[in-house]
Amino acid sequence: MAAADKRWNRRLAGADYQALHAWSIEHPEEFWASVWEFGEVRGEMGSTIVIDREKMPGAKWFPEAQLNFAENLLRRRDKSDALVFRGEDKVKGRASYAELYRAVAQTAAALRAMGVVKGDRIAAYLPNVPATVVAMLATASIGAIFSSASPDFGVQGVVDRFGQIEPKVLFACDGYWYNGKAIDCLGKVAEISSRMPSLQRVVVVPYAGNAGGGGDIAAVKHGVLLADFLAPFAGEREIHFERLPFDHPLYIMYSSGTTGVPKCIVHCAGGALLQHLKEHQLQADVKRGDRLFYFTTCGWMMWNWLVSGLASGATLLLYDGSPFVGRGSILFDYADAERMTHFGTSAKFIDAIAKISLKPRQTHKLEQLRAMFSTGSPLVAEGFDYVYANIKPDLQLASISGGTDIISCFVLGNPNGPVYRGEIQCAGLGMAVDVFSDAGQPVRGEKGELVCARSFPVMPIGFWNDPDGAKYHAAYFDRFDNIWCHGDFAERTAHDGFIIYGRSDATLNPGGVRIGTAEIYRQVEKLGEVVESLVIGQDWPAGIGGDVRVVLFVKLREGLGLDEALINRIKQVIKDNTTPRHVPGKILQVSDIPRTKSGKIVELAVRNVVHGAAVKNVEALANPEALDYFRDRAELKS
């Protein structure tokens, strides 16, 4: 508020978040310049903030600016913690800001020595370990482009992603820990290196597999151990940061890939930096010295979001492995031990620990914890109840939503605002978020399409290998002209909050009425017998232009079977709390629910299997074998 009142000599029409948000979208030049100044961005802003801001796509932000992303994350060089690491209960590590700077200096020097220059691609096939952060910062310091995937991806999944962008260097792990077991990766790394002719070096990072004990990496084409790669540069202490235009590429991210080869989404350094500074400092209240945690792999954009916390002077708490070590308590143990201030996780994790009646409020102190973030899928109202009753009653619970597409959020938290159960608090500052009807009109208290009606600095530069921008335009701008249509089925509430009901392409349409999948999940997963569920619309009667039949699949607690009594209870709970149209025509038991590597369930893949269509990219799934539970079900033929 002060920035608008003093810096720009404006009197806002109110002293609340809505007034601040209105200023941020009505006067975006003033707002985004204020974010640059408030975030103390290192670089030259220039006098022009945006050209053609009404064009989407087409607006050009900070066209005169020069900056380096890594320079802004490495502005501290003191002895305070920059990174703290836990690899389940197997590995611990810690690095100060000074130590992190030196590690980046050595890695950047090694990359430069082998000819890496701005615009080259550097890929990481790594867990969420400190070496991944170092590799990214070293890449960004040069102006090269960083892209990552987690080591649970199969070979084809990695080649489908990295093969499109032709990286010069691959950082890869020898193995990783999951659920107490060391998973070897050298075989996969060797195959990847043989299938990617662009690679000039594969740097193997010892962590949990063979190479950590001196194992043989001879089968890895162009392979070298990290220590050997860095040895000639052990004395490096300084980094030459390449200052580059605002829209210089920083990251290449990937769509989920469940409907074909993943799209390569290119994000710029300036947009990611400004957006993350805004979200961390203004929407999440991250301050210098705070201890920021997000449970994520390096294949999910929340890793990129987490790492930007260094620009706000926070300590990053990194964790790799299963969150259920110690019956789900390990992350709360970590929170107490490291004085965690911000705890980020998924809605599925909150639901899972609620199902096993975990009560961290009774077993842990959590004294410094003041914010909890949830994303990945909608957090239902009962999830809010659980957090406040069983984790901590006086924290900010911020359900957040955006995605890989913008490497950030459209809707998220307000640390000074109220939290309403089941609702995301607000639209992000500078983001003209709304909900549109099918006719393209804003609606309140009704379900529709989540949109952003004006341009913003963190819009992707475009897609890799999409020279005319046709794929990029089709992904977001075909539905409404000059409007970003995000593909979420949503509602804007009376509180100016938001409810996400699921992906638009997965909504159900029985009798022509649109139903968000999350509306059904919320009711079904209240039942103690149900661990998880997935719902689709089945074309029925098949092949004669019939209606859509709602089909619900449930994964039950171990040892339980789906009988008529439980089926009737599920139907009754859904009917009592929604409408008769929400009640499934069929309810079937499955042993597992397929999901992406980032933990999102894949309704579209299951729908394809049920209808006998191919799933184009099973490599995008964490557990592709689960699709077999949905194939050729006799119950769905009548």
- For residue 405, give the amino acid letter: D
Report pLDDT for 13: 61
Determine the Cα–Cα distance for residues 434 and 492; give it in Å rounded to an integer: 7
Order of strands across the sheet with 342-346?
A: 91-96, 81-87, 315-320, 291-294, 342-346, 371-375, 396-399
In a domain, 230, yes or no: no
The answer to whether the beta carbons of residues 213 and 194 sit under 8 Å apart is no
Residue 497 has pLDDT above 50, yes or no: yes
The residues facing 451 across adjacent strands are 434, 485
Instruction: Work out the average pLDDT over 227-232.
Output: 98
**Residue 257's pLDDT is what?**
63
Q: Sheet of 547-556: strands edge to edge?
A: 530-540, 547-556, 586-589
Nearest Cα neighbor of 541 from 439, 427, 420, 638 is: 638
Q: Is the same domain home to 470 and 581?
A: no
pLDDT band with cut points at 50, 70 and 90 for residue 341: very high
Tell how many helices (H) and how many strands (E) occur in the chain.
19, 32
CB atoms within 10 A of CB 398: 27
Beta-carbon contacts of 39 under 8 Å, excluding residues fewer than 6 positions away, are 273, 274, 277, 278, 281, 311, 312
Q: Across residues 320-326, what is the average pLDDT? A: 92
pLDDT over 90 percentage in the chain: 85
* Longest CA pairwise span in the chain (Å): 73
In a domain, residue 610? The reply is yes
Same domain, 583 and 461: no
**Type of residue at 149:** A
CA distances from 417 to 350, 420, 450, 496 (A): 22, 10, 22, 11
Mean pLDDT on 129-138: 98
**What distance in Å separates the CA atoms of residue 629 and residue 436, rounded to the nearest whole number?**
37
Q: In the listed set 475, 502, 529, which residue is the last one of a domain according to the structure?
A: 502
In this structure, are 513 and 629 located in the same domain?
yes
What pLDDT is attached to residue 160? 92
- What DSSP character marks residue 152? T
The domain boundary, picked from 502, 518, 540, lies at 502
- Give me the count of residues in the chain: 638
Q: Supply φ then ψ for residue 149, to 5 degrees.
A: -145, 150
| Distance linking the first and last C-alpha atoms of the chain | 61
Q: What is the CATH number of the domain that holds 522?
A: 3.30.300.30
Please report whether residue 90 resides in a domain: no
pLDDT per position as a tens digit, 25-36: 999 999 999 999
When pLDDT is averaged across residues 456-460 and rounded to a whole number, the result is 98
Q: Does 594 lie in the same domain as 484?
A: no
Whether the predicted pLDDT of 545 surpasses 60: no
Q: How many folded domains does the chain comprise?
A: 2
Does residue 470 have a pLDDT over 60? yes
Q: Are both 602 and 632 inside the same structural domain? A: yes
Q: Please, which residues bridge with residue 292 across strands?
A: 316, 342
Q: What pLDDT is stored for residue 80 in this prediction? A: 97
pLDDT band for position 3 (cuts 50, 70, 90):
low
Average pLDDT over the chain, rounded to an integer? 93
Q: Is 387 left (phi over 0), alpha (psi -120 to 50) or beta?
A: alpha
- 377, part of any domain: no
Token readout for 215 is 């194992």
Asked whether residue 536 falls in the same domain as residue 598, the answer is yes
- Answer yes or no: is 425 within a domain: yes
| 235 CB neighbour count, 10 Å cutoff | 9
Handedness of CA 427, 428, 434, 435 (dihedral sign): negative
Answer yes or no: do 440 and 544 share one domain.
Answer: no
pTM value is 0.91
551 and 609 in a single domain? The answer is: yes
Whether residues 459 and 569 fall in one domain? no
Its domain, for residue 627, covers 507-637
Q: How confident is the model at residue 51 (pLDDT cuts 50, 70, 90)?
A: very high
For 307, the 3-state DSSP assignment is helix
pLDDT-derived band at 615 (thresholds 50, 70, 90) equals: confident
Task: Supply the DSSP string of 51-63, one letter for each residue.
Answer: ESTT-TTT-EEST
> What is the model's pLDDT at position 1?
46
In this prediction, residues 496-518 reach a mean pLDDT of 88
pLDDT grade for 258, boundaries at 50, 70 and 90: low
Provide the pLDDT for residue 170.
98
User: Would residue 588 count as lying in a domain?
Assistant: yes
Q: How much of the chain, in percent, has pLDDT values that exceed 70? A: 95
- 67, part of any domain: no
Query: Is the domain of 517 the same as that of 605?
Result: yes
Residue 435 bridge partners (DSSP): 450
Distance (Å, rounded) from C-alpha 416 to C-alpha 423? 15
CB 28 within 8 A of CB 49: yes
Final residue of a structural domain among 502, 519, 538: 502
Phi/psi-derived region of residue 181, left when phi > 0, alpha when psi is between -120 and 50, beta in every other case: beta
Q: What pLDDT score was predicted for residue 5?
A: 54
Neighbouring CB atoms inside 10 A of 613's CB total 11
Asked if residue 6 is part of any domain, the answer here is no
Are residue 465 and residue 564 in the same domain, yes or no? no
Please, what is the angle between helix 347-355 and helix 381-390, to 10°?
60
Per-residue pLDDT for 2 more than 60? no
CATH code where residue 417 lies: 2.30.38.10
pLDDT of residue 631: 95
- Do 514 and 470 belong to one domain? no
